[in-house]
A = this chain, B = another copy of it.
């Protein structure tokens, strides 16, 4: 019954895909390796052969997509960029489109959003938090840059701005995940980016103390 190396890789991918699907539906902690195995059409032994435990499987799933997420998140941070706000708009559009059109990408987001607030120390690995914090830092840099280039008011609180961007982005994705039929994410992308920018332009002024 020994499989060839290619076959082994196929089952490994199948486990990863099934894990991604189930994790995104039920959350990581309430999905058993048993269920993943049976839905992937393999035995639990296969899962334990490819991955040490549930969290290593989770790490494998994350690392398969983290490169793409990093790439997207970092796109607008270059200090030399002459139109940082334009870059930011592109990034947001890109995120919207990807989330709307690619299920696996959407599921990764869903897991991250869902798992982010769990507090059991043994459970959620540090990697998720790092991932989010990094992309937040990227956006602060982009906004600072846009301020210097005169694209945003000089008294904008960039940290608050970056947070609001994240929040609205996450919120919109969550809402779309909750009710995909409600509206077309890609179509509304323009309007939503406008909404974010109007917040940046008209609110979130720094407070003096």
Q: Which residues of A contact B (CB under 8 A)?
A: 25-27, 29-30, 110, 113-114, 116-120, 123, 160, 163-164, 166-168, 170-172, 174-175, 177-178, 183, 187-188, 191, 194-195, 198-199, 201-205, 207
Contacts and interface: CB of A to CB of B under 8 A. Distances in A.
Given A110-B117, A198-B198, A199-B195, A167 B178 contact: no
Contacts of A201: 198
For the complex of A and B, the 7 pairs showing the least CB-CB separation, nearest first, are A167-B171, A195-B203, A198-B202, A195-B199, A29-B30, A25-B119, A194-B203
Contact of A195 (B120, B164, B194): B164
A58 to B, nearest CB: 15
Contact of A168 (B116, B167, B177): B167
Given A160-B191, A175-B163, A30 B120 contact: yes
A169 to B, nearest CB: 9
A183 B159 CA distance: 11
Nearest to A118: B27
Interface centre among A110, A116, A167, A207 (most CB of B within 10 A): A167
Given A27-B27, A29-B29, A171-B167, A117 B178 contact: yes
Contacts of A175: 163, 166-167
Contact of A202 (B113, B202, B205): B202
B160 A164 contact: no
Nearest to A179: B163
